[in-house]
Amino acid sequence: MKRNLLLRFVILASFIILLPTAGLARDIAPIVSTDWLLANLKNPKLVILDIRRVEDYREGHIPGALNAFYGAWAYMKDGLYASLPEKDEIDDTISYMGIHFDQWVVVTGCMDTPRLSYQSARVACTLQYAGIENVALLDGGMNKWIAEKKPLSKKIERRPASKFKGKYTSEKFADKHYIEERMGKLILLDLREREFFTGEKKMDCVPMRGHIPGAFNMPTSCAFNEDRTFKTKEELRAIAEEAAGKDLNAAIVTYCDAGQCCPTWSYLLMEVLGYKNVRLYVGSMQEWMQDPRAPVER
């Protein structure tokens, strides 16, 4: 019994000591600029994932970028719009891209609409879920790259496949049960636009109006400038602290309507602002509101 307690203490102490280093494994910034990317195009560690549709990729993409369409990373399953693929499917996708754990993966996509702008973060979070640490988002996405007249290629890129087997973390995503068990102890961030949070509007896919009781509203759109680049770290911090507070160890869950836009703040909170315990609820309101007994606030 005593030995068991000692073992538990050692594990807990190791966990607490190592916790601050959890976010320090990065070799690249979580958000990279178009200029940085251009300067690093020939870096052998770099892999660029272009998550736009195949048709758009073929029209012209960043030289060397691989096409990794968003639909492979989040798709409708069991009636939920943006479910997480099975682990072996994620392994298949990453293997096909020839990605290894030690590579720097920059995700870029189309920023034409808010919904499209949020997709890169979902892919980044999924890569991290699989254990790839050096993941980054291209600031401004393909729209900025093209607007700046940076080089484009029409060559369809392929890399030798890797035999990727993800080291999946259980700390990236939350499900309904996780939230229900911790109601009142979590900081819930509702990342939809205000009128969806208050219940004035609702998406067709969400059965009921309103939000999870106690949630704070922090729309995903607030993270972006008008040109779809991210706001500065200071601006992001001011927005985040208003809703999530200053405690970087607080347990936070982000959600939206269908799990498509909540990855953005989840990624920013953890990777840019240093919050350590942030999960995103993939099923989001689409799943939560299907349960007529689930608590709802308007």
Partner 1 sequence: MYKGYVVDKALLDKDPHFKAGCILCHAGNDGELSKEKAHLRMLKKPSDNLRSCGVCHKKTAANYAKSLHYTTIGQRTGVMPRFSEAELKTFDEKVFEKSCRSCHASCGDCHVKGAPVGGISIGLVAKHKFVKKDEGKTCAFCHGGRVYPEYTGDYGGAPDVHYQKGMLCMDCHKKAEFHGDGTAYKSKNEVPQRPACKSCHPQGKEAKKETQVAHSLHDGKVSCYGCHSGSAYRNCNDCHGGHAAAGPGMILGRSPRDRKVLTTLRLIPTVRDTFAPAGIKMEHFDAVPNYWDTPAHNIKKRTERTRKCDVCHVDRKNFLTKETLIKNGAKANEELIFVPKAIAR
Given the rule CB under 8 A, which residues bind partner 1? 53-55, 57-58, 67-69, 71-72, 75-77, 81, 85-86, 88-89, 92-93, 96, 156
Secondary structure (3-state) at 117 = helix
| For partner 1, the closer CB: 142 or 272 | 142
Shortest Å, Cβ 70 to partner 1: 9
Q: Which CB sits closer to partner 1, 53 or 231?
A: 53
The answer to whether 67 and 60 have CB atoms below 8 angstroms apart is: no
Q: How far is the CB of 54 from partner 1 (least distance, A)?
A: 5
Shortest distance (Å) from residue 58 CB to partner 1: 7
Least distance between partner 1 and beta carbon 182 (Å): 31
Cα 273 to the center of its chain, rounded Å: 14
Among the listed residues 122, 68, 156, the one whose alpha carbon sits nearest the alpha carbon of residue 256: 122
Choose between 71 and 274: whose C-beta lies nearer to partner 1: 71
Amino acid at 286: Q
Tell me the residue ranges of DSSP E strands in the chain.
31-32, 46-50, 66-67, 75-77, 80-83, 104-108, 135-138, 173-174, 187-190, 216-217, 252-255, 278-281
Instruction: Name, in order, each residue with C-beta under 8 angstroms of 221's C-beta and a sequence gap of 6 or more.
Output: 114, 193
67 or 254, CB closer to partner 1?
A: 67
- What is the number of alpha carbons within 13 Å of residue 291 lying toward its C-beta? 13
C-beta closer to partner 1: residue 89 or 242? 89
Q: What is the CA angle 64-111-285, rounded to 5?
A: 120
Shortest CB 57 distance to partner 1, Å: 7
